[in-house]
Structure 1
Amino acid sequence: MYNLFLKDLRLQKFMILFYIGIICLYQINLTNLLFTVSVIGCMYMFNAHFNDEKDNNHKFINSLPYSRKTIILSKYAGTLIFTFFATVFTLVFQLGVDAIIPHFGIKIGTLKEIGASFVIIMVLTSFYLPFFYRFTNKYLLAGFSIVFLVFLFTWKKIINFMDLNKYLLKINTHFSTTELSVFIFIITLVLFISSYFLTVRIYERTDF
């Protein structure tokens, strides 16, 4: 699995420079850690899957001495590992800017934001991978990518339109922060693990 993760990193070596640029740009524009890490983690996951589908690379991968379970596991685990590194880089960048330019106004990410970003990544991965391994289509992938890019530039308007903050405040009045965090983590973990087994089942039934 380690070698498969390294393979994904090598295929995205130029994209990683792009990710770093996006992180720096978002932080200079005072975007919070939650949104920054969520976007970067999702982009990595999308591209890791897209690279396997491009030019029928999945046929080559399946010729390697790895089980299909290991191949799928590398996608799920690799996304979390990359998200961890993206989180660390974002925090280091924030701390560096705050130390050099104290009055810049950059906000250091909190544990709550870090946890929430991982939850978002895990939920999106849980839905994305089984769906696209089941319905592999380059036009579908392109369409999903366009929708994601549109969301990047309109997410604040969407949140304001749906008035999500009002619903979050209502939830907080019924549950303590700890209770809510534990509940969300358990649900997300169950969803993530279930998604992995579903994707493995789909992938094992796929003919290459």
Structure 2
Amino acid sequence: MLNLIRRDVILQKKLILLFVPFALFFILLDAHPILTFFIASIYVPFNAYAYDEKSDVNILLNSLPYTRKEIIAARYLGALFFMAAAIGLSSIAMLLFSKDFSAIDVGMGAGAFLLFGAVTFPLFYILKQGYITASLMFLIVIGAGIGPFIVRMAGENLTAITNFFTQTSDTILYSGAAIIAVVFYTMSWIFTTFIYQRKAF
């Protein structure tokens, strides 16, 4: 299974070399650390899925001595590995450029990635190939544009929700958010495995 993760590194070695300038772009633009960590985290996993979508590599993968469950596990575990590496490199870069960030920013960026992965990874096995990458890029741009506005409007108009967040300790809020993200990611992993085991190639 580790060989499947290594395969992603080998196939994307040129794109991985572009990771540092890609992350630096957001850092030098003074993007919020959470956004920087999130964008950095999706860079390799998203490109891996996009590459496989174009080359229809699933036929090849299913001819290798790996079960379908192992193939999906490599995808989800590999995404966690690449997320950790991306956040680590981004953190080092932000320290070198004297950009402030906190452990909460790291956690929120990782949580955002887990939720993003939980929603999007199954789509590569459900939707028709050729439209997935473009659709997800569109959703990312739209989400980044209107997401903060929706959160702000909800905070201003939904008093009960605002009171709940202001009266609950930060530790409970962040712990709850982390648990929710992990649960969604795990459920997505199980769901994707179920879909992939029944998919014909």
**TM-score by structure 2 length?**
0.88
CA contact (8 A) 2:5 2:75 kept: yes
Aligned twin of 1:179: 172
> In 1, Cα distance between the equivalents of 2:87 and 2:178?
18
Q: Summarize deviations over 1:121-180 as a string: whole Å, max 9, x none.
A: 1111111112221123212332222332x34xx836641365168368644313111111
Q: Calculate the aligned-residue CA RMSD, in Å.
A: 2.1
In structure 2, what residue type is equivalent to 1:202?
I
Point out where structure 2 has 5 or more consecutive residues left out of the alignment: none
Contact in 2 for aligned 1:33/1:90 (Cα 8 Å): no
Residue number in structure 1 paired with 2:139? 147
| Structure 1 residue aligned with 2:155 | 166
What SS class does the counterpart of residue 163 from structure 1 fall into? helix
| Alpha-carbon distance in structure 2 between the residues aligned to 1:188 and 1:96 | 30
Opposite residue 183 of structure 2, the aligned amino acid is: V
| Contact kept? 1:38, 1:121, Cα under 8 Å | yes
**Runs of 5+ in structure 1 lacking a partner?**
99-105
Q: Match of 2:170, as an amino acid?
A: T
Contact between 2:122 and 2:192, CA under 8 Å: does it hold in 1?
yes
Q: Could you say which residue in structure 1 is the equivalent of 2:187?
A: 194
Residue type of the partner of 1:139?
Y
CA separation in 2, counterparts of 1:147 and 1:186?
24
The equivalent residue for 1:204 is: 197
State the shift of 1:84 in Å. 0.8
Using a 3 Å threshold, how does the CA distance of structure 1 residues 163 and 137 change in structure 2: closer, same or farther?
A: same
Secondary structure of 2:4's match? helix
Local SS of the residue matching 2:121: helix
User: Cα–Cα, structure 1 residues 161 and 173, in superposed 2: closer, same or farther, change >3 Å?
Assistant: closer
Distance 1:60 1:16 in 2: 23
Report the residue type matching 2:24 in the other structure: C
> After superposition, what is the alpha-carbon deviation per residue over 1:43-65, rounded to whole angstroms, capped at 9, x for unaligned?
32221112222222111111111
Number of residue pairs the alignment of both structures matches: 197
**Cα deviation code 1:33-87 (max 9, x no counterpart):** 2111201222322211122222221111111111111111111111111111111
> CA–CA distance in 2 between the matches of 1:145 and 1:160?
19
Relative to structure 1, the CA distance from residue 207 to residue 161 in structure 2 (aligned partners, 3 Å threshold; closer, same or farther) is closer
Residue number in structure 2 paired with 1:87 = 87
Alpha-carbon spacing, 1:10–1:120, altered in 2? closer, same or farther (3 Å): same
User: Aligned letter for 2:7?
Assistant: K
